[in-house]
Amino acid sequence: MTEEEKIQQELIKKFAILDGKIRMQRSRRMYVEVSPKDFEGVFEYAVKSLGFVMLCSITGLDEGATLGFLYHIAREDGIMLNIKVSADKNNPTINTITGYFPGADIYEREVMDLLGAKVKGLSAGNRYPLSDDWPAGEYPLRKDWKKQGGV
Amino acid sequence: MHKVVIPIGPQHPALKEPESFSVTLSGEKIMKFSARLGYNHRGIEKACEERTYIQDVYLTERICGICSHSHSTCFVQAVEEIGAIAVPKRALYIRTLVGELERVHSHLLWLGVAGHEVGFDTLLMYTWRDREIVMDILAMLTGNRVNYGINTIGGVRRDMSPEQGKDILKAMDTLEERTKYYIQVATQETTLIQRLSGVGLLSHDDALKLGAVGPTARASGVDRDVRRDDPYAAYADMKFKVITDNHNDVYGRTLVRMGELMEAYSIIRQTVKNMPDGPLTVKAPRKIPAGEAVSRYEAPRGEDMHYVKANGTEKPERVKVRAPTLANIQTVAKMLENRQLADLPIVIAAIDPCFSCTDRLTGIRQVGKRKRNVLKWEELHEYSIKFYQEHGVDFTNLNNKLTKLLK
């Protein structure tokens, strides 16, 4: 059995709801989508018990009615797990993961600026990457965002 | 003692790129360090969504001038995975070859910058002179010193001839000899050792916790390298060591980069000597089927990551870039805690920051006017001559003399 299959089994053993939901695209690449209420549990288990000790990044996605957040975490042997969680576009709230990875701070600020996510539990700090005079409520990576003159 | 807050940047003589740091000092000791990034934001991720995949190859290549090949390779790898495009082996070898040549030029550039930041400008002059050897090789192989344009979806655009292979091997011998000399300098020259040792300390635990990547992490004993752990291109066929060090400081980061230079020469020789025959590229469709992929690449500064989502059209739905500096910049605050202000330039330089990569933003805007202004090459040339003349420097006589000589 490959390492990826072992991880898949461990995840399903712990979280029965994930049965049939884990996609193995190729060796070392696993994808799973979880509901907001299960996210923290799955994430914590992967980080603390399955050896996913590296946070590569957080990708924010505009999926129409929802915003998707893809957490790319990796193990030292190169296996990467991509956990996706979605939030309603009108109130896209996610919880901070800086408790697990202090370095997640900048990635969370990025999805706040570019997609308008609200990150619960994130401490105050400089915004990233847009300028301080960027108009409020303008989120350039949203699909319905329109470029304005000069920007 | 009274605390003083010093703003450094976004425009500052000590910085090579625009970024803003706020440093709280007590005497000369740094109490707190915070960074404000984003001054280079060009909206490349959004721009990628509005362009075709093939245009995006050239756009991602321009995320950074130094690790341009890293970004374009990382992007095409993701697209090829989604489209299930099997890249010919010869193309993978050429990508690896250019990737390692890029690492050599980047690490030599860093060594020079590090020398400059600690007042050892002879090292800057020497390394940048030697760096020209690898720049010439890159120009010979790809036609360009930066932004090589070697990648395309499904393979590479230029071949390596046997004669070029010979020139590359010859250049590697010279560079290896020079690098051995630099290793000797770094391990024996006491002023350099003392200036770099114990500066910018980052413990193994902190490197892991803060998510450091590349030489910054490896110099804190973190044994990670995407080339070995998650092999791409032709790295699975290559024999090389992942260089780590336990000094945890700027000195360690110097040793790691020099060790990596020696490994890069070895990988370059392997690619040239074992270059398989075959086609350079396979035909890739303009429309990429719906799907997603994450691609990882060990850039000179650390792990580069691209996420691409396709929706079945000829334009991507989403492109996300995580450049290594964004992961490393967060370690700088830790490295500077309770350190002297004078250490700040070299500590920042030691992560080999690249804020263009990190911010990913193009277009010149005239201040006060909502109008884009793009200068043509001739206009830029004229502007520069006029600028210098206005500042009392006139090269006209010198240029005329030079033209005559060349005739």
Tell me: the pLDDT tens digits for A58-108? 999 999 999 999 999 999 999 999 999 999 999 999 999 999 999 899 999
- A102 interface with B at CB cutoff 8 Å: yes
In DSSP terms, B375 is beta-bridged to none
Among B144, B109, B102, smallest CA distance to B123 is for B109
* Digit-coded pLDDT (tens) for B310-345: 999 999 999 999 999 988 988 998 999 889 999 988
pTM > 0.80: yes
C-beta of residue A84 within 8 angstroms of C-beta of residue A100: no
Between CA A70 and CA B313, with CA B320 as vertex, the angle to 5 degrees is 100
Among A84, A71, A70, A76, smallest CA distance to A22 is for A84
- A31 interface with B at CB cutoff 8 Å: yes
CA distance B84 to chain A (A): 11
- A134 interface with B at CB cutoff 8 Å: no
Q: How many residues does chain B have?
A: 407
CA distance B67 to chain A (A): 18
Residue of chain A with shortest Cα separation from B40: A129
Task: Assign A15 to helix, strand or coil.
Answer: coil
What is the token pair recorded at B231? 């092999």
- A28 interface with B at CB cutoff 8 Å: yes
User: Is the ipTM of this structure higher than 0.90?
Assistant: yes
Residue of chain A with shortest Cα separation from B38: A129
Question: How many whole angstroms separate alpha carbon A55 and alpha carbon B211?
Answer: 7
Question: How many whole angstroms separate alpha carbon A124 and alpha carbon A96?
Answer: 12
Residue of chain B with shortest Cα separation from A142: B46
DSSP one-letter string for B166-197: HHHHHHHHHHHHHHHHHHHHHHH-HHHHHHHT
Do you find a cis peptide bond into B10, omega within 30 degrees of 0? yes
Computed over every residue of chain B, the mean pLDDT equals 91
Question: How many whole angstroms separate alpha carbon B24 and alpha carbon B26?
Answer: 7
> In A76-131, at which residue ranges do the beta strands (DSSP E only) sit?
80-88, 93-95, 118-120
- A27 interface with B at CB cutoff 8 Å: no
- A141 interface with B at CB cutoff 8 Å: yes
pLDDT value at B364 more than 60: no
pLDDT of res. B367: 46
pLDDT of res. B216: 96
CA distance B405 to chain A (A): 47
- A140 interface with B at CB cutoff 8 Å: yes
Give A-chain residues touching B311 at CB under 8 angstroms: none
Question: How many whole angstroms separate alpha carbon B264 and alpha carbon B75?
Answer: 22
Give B-chain residues touching A60 at CB under 8 angstroms: 320
Give A-chain residues touching B35 at CB under 8 angstroms: 126
Question: How many whole angstroms separate alpha carbon B179 and alpha carbon B171?
Answer: 12
pLDDT of res. B376: 75
Residue B365's pLDDT band, with cuts at 50, 70 and 90, is very low
**Residue holding tokens 């929706």?**
B311
pLDDT of res. B406: 74
A29/B224 Cβ within 8 A: no
Residue B361's pLDDT band, with cuts at 50, 70 and 90, is very low
pLDDT of res. B395: 78
A28/B303 Cβ within 8 A: no
Do you find a cis peptide bond into B353, omega within 30 degrees of 0? no
B320/A56 Cβ within 8 A: no
Question: How many whole angstroms separate alpha carbon B327 and alpha carbon B304?
Answer: 10
Give B-chain residues touching A128 at CB under 8 angstroms: 36-38
Number of CB atoms found within 10 A of residue B123's CB: 21
A141/B46 Cβ within 8 A: yes
pLDDT of res. B371: 59
- A84 interface with B at CB cutoff 8 Å: no
* Digit-coded pLDDT (tens) for A51-70: 999 999 999 999 999 999 99
Task: Assign B364 to helix, strand or coil.
Answer: coil
Question: How many whole angstroms separate alpha carbon B50 and alpha carbon B65?
Answer: 22
C-beta of residue B279 within 8 angstroms of C-beta of residue B155: yes
